[in-house]
Amino acid sequence: MERGERIIDTYELNVNDIVVDVAVISKDTEPVPIYTISITNISDTTKIILEKIRDEFVAEETKTLTEDEGVYNIQEQFKDKILKLLAKYFPDADKKTMDMLINYILQQNIGLGNLDILLKDTNLEEVVINNAEEPVWVYHRKYGWLKTNVLIPTESRIRHYSTIIGRDVGKEITILNPLMDAHLKTGDRVNATLAPISSKGNTITIRKFAVKPWTVTDFIKERVISYEGAALLWMAVQNELSVIISGGTASGKTSMLNVISNFFPPNQRIISMEDTRELMLPKVLHWVPLETRLPNPEGKGGIEMLDLIVNSLRMRPDRIIVGEIRRKREAEVLFEAMHTGHSVYGTLHANNVRETINRLTNPPIDLPKQLLSALSLIVVQHINRRTGKRRTLQIAEVLPNGDPRLLMQINPLKDTLEIVNEPLAIIETLNLYTGLSKQEIYADMQSKIEILKWMVNKGMTDVNRIGLIFSKYYLNKPFMHLTGV
């Protein structure tokens, strides 16, 4: 460690048997911490030999990536040739070492280089290249935006990476078409731009698909939501009340949608609609995921969100999940579905409860305020961009006249979600359809809080295990028997 440096965190990654040490370091000379990677099981001498093998390989091989083949196919074709060259320089290496060295050569020369390592770190949400002059930046789940020690040597290399990514999903980025939006087969979302559209250089922005979905226990442990807030949402979902989740970009709207889906019962049919598959529901659920599709270059074959929503109503859904509500017709069909007895769950871009109502009742969505009474709850997610912490900012019910009534709100000084009003419309609705009195509803919420505490104490964070817990709960099995799940 140099003077003025402090290690914040360290951990290890294994990327195709290449062992990578990760360190997050605070430096007095840097305004943000530095995310560093170092490959530990390949020595500097070995790297020099591998560079020689690469040069030899490139000199012999005439095939290039300009052909219409995916990276994976080309890598498979090259493996045998690289193996022969490795055997020449490392005659005593075992199969495991050989495989690791092949993976390293392929990753560095045909794949995305050190970007591949960053993409394998499940702690990272975003990986961004701004140009060849500055290091790659990453957004870390725990530490927010960090600079890395990864540099892309040239602007042409950044453009080459964009071309590789695009080719694998049938997209093209050129000087004439310098913007690319792509969804990778892994679920990651990629945006690329070429200079001079991005005036400082070529850019790539990769929003990583969460391999492990957020669950209600994760949210409680990370203080995103309180036990009381989670129990209220559970009660709403159990009783088929519709919920809209709003918030700004990257505030955790989709993550909250995934958390809410933990509460669905296994004997109901769930249809979800997204632009890109991000939701991951428990396996025990009766779930059909649908995705929109962009039109082809001739402008044909596009499937929009409205097409999916209208189609989903013909699929006998009990629950309808919509990735994002953007347009008037989408909202009209969804609120119509609510009025005809379907439970609807979706997200919307708005920063607080009041903005959510305004967005729904003003252009471009422009719904009549009377329609909003079909909606029971609005949940607002918020990200503090200085600290990177995500929190549930507000939970509100919607009254019969379409006005919101705030039930819970974050206290930023105490970092707690506080109860500000007791529900009126929800109590009335639950009493009407279940016959439960106000006291019985509160008792039910308290029992849900106890179950959530038990799950958190047991360290349950696997979405499928949690789904099994809730399915047993709905089957009315005594909770004491769940300890064996």
What is the mean predicted confidence (pLDDT) over 238-248?
97
What is the mean predicted confidence (pLDDT) over 306-323?
96
Indicate if 268 and 414 belong to the same structural domain: yes
Residue type, 403: D
For 58, 67, 407, the CA distances from 252, given in Å and listed in that order, are 45, 40, 20
Counting other chains too, the contacts that 300-306 makes at CB distance below 8 Å and 24 or more residues apart are 305/273, 305/275, 305/330, 306/330, 306/333
Domain end call among 111, 137, 158: 111
What is the mean predicted confidence (pLDDT) over 456-463?
96
Residue 169 lies in a domain: no
CA 186 to chain centre: 12
Indicate if 383 and 257 belong to the same structural domain: yes
- Which range of residues forms the domain containing residue 55? 42-111
What is the mean predicted confidence (pLDDT) over 299-315?
94
pLDDT tier, 71 (very low <50, low <70, confident <90, very high otherwise): low
pTM: 0.82
For 172-203, what is each residue's pLDDT tens digit?
A: 899 999 999 887 777 788 999 999 999 999 99
- Rounded to the nearest 10 degrees, what angle do helices 438-457 and 463-474 cross at? 150
Mean pLDDT (the chain) is 89
Strand partners, 104: none
pLDDT tier, 68 (very low <50, low <70, confident <90, very high otherwise): very low
165's tokens: 């990514």
pLDDT > 70? residue 238: yes
Indicate if 354 and 468 belong to the same structural domain: yes
- Report the b/e string of 216-247 with b at 16+ CB within 10 A: bbbbbeeebbbbbbbbbbbbbbbbbbbbbbbb
The CA dihedral of 270, 274, 280, 284, to the nearest 10 degrees, is 20
pLDDT tier, 93 (very low <50, low <70, confident <90, very high otherwise): confident
- How many Å apart are CA 309 and CA 326, to the nearest integer? 13
* Model pLDDT, residue 312: 96
Domain end call among 90, 111, 132: 111
Counting other chains too, the contacts that 94-98 makes at CB distance below 8 Å and 24 or more residues apart are 96/17
pLDDT > 90? residue 407: yes
Indicate if 225 and 96 belong to the same structural domain: no
Strand partners, 182: 190
pLDDT > 80? residue 478: no
Residue 373 lies in a domain: yes
Give, for 243, the enclosing helix (H) or strand (E). strand 243-247
% of the chain exceeding 70 in pLDDT: 93
In the three-class reduction of DSSP (H, G, I as helix; E, B as strand; rest coil), residue 311 is classed as helix
What is the mean predicted confidence (pLDDT) over 261-269?
96
- How many Å apart are CA 142 and CA 456, to the nearest integer? 20
pLDDT tier, 82 (very low <50, low <70, confident <90, very high otherwise): confident
% of the chain exceeding 90 in pLDDT: 69
Name the more confident of 377 and 185: 377
pLDDT > 80? residue 74: no
What is the mean predicted confidence (pLDDT) over 123-144?
95
What is the mean predicted confidence (pLDDT) over 317-326?
95
For 391-402, what is each residue's pLDDT tens digit?
A: 999 999 999 999
CATH assignment of the domain containing 372? 3.40.50.300
- How many Å apart are CA 36 and CA 77, to the nearest integer? 32
Domain end call among 62, 94, 111: 111
Residue 12 lies in a domain: no
Q: What angle do CA 20, 21, 23 make, to 5 degrees?
A: 140
For 2, 49, 74, 162, 442, the CA distances from 110, given in Å and listed in that order, are 35, 17, 8, 13, 60
Residue 244 lies in a domain: yes
What is the mean predicted confidence (pLDDT) over 143-170?
91
In the three-class reduction of DSSP (H, G, I as helix; E, B as strand; rest coil), residue 176 is classed as coil
pLDDT tier, 469 (very low <50, low <70, confident <90, very high otherwise): very high
What is the mean predicted confidence (pLDDT) over 306-330?
95
Residue 25 lies in a domain: no
- Rounded to the nearest 10 degrees, what angle do helices 227-238 and 253-261 cross at? 60
pLDDT > 90? residue 235: yes
What total number of domains does the chain contain?
Answer: 2
pLDDT > 80? residue 70: no
pLDDT > 50? residue 277: yes
What is the mean predicted confidence (pLDDT) over 458-481?
84
Cβ contact 182:165 at 8 Å: yes
* Model pLDDT, residue 471: 93
* Model pLDDT, residue 483: 45
Residue 358 lies in a domain: yes
Indicate if 250 and 107 belong to the same structural domain: no
What is the mean predicted confidence (pLDDT) over 373-382?
97
* Model pLDDT, residue 485: 45
pLDDT tier, 423 (very low <50, low <70, confident <90, very high otherwise): very high
Residue 417 lies in a domain: yes
For 13-65, what is each residue's pLDDT tens digit?
A: 998 788 899 999 999 999 999 999 998 767 777 877 777 776 776 666 544 44
In the three-class reduction of DSSP (H, G, I as helix; E, B as strand; rest coil), residue 287 is classed as strand
What is the mean predicted confidence (pLDDT) over 147-160?
94
pLDDT > 70? residue 477: no
Residue 78 lies in a domain: yes
What is the mean predicted confidence (pLDDT) over 429-440?
95
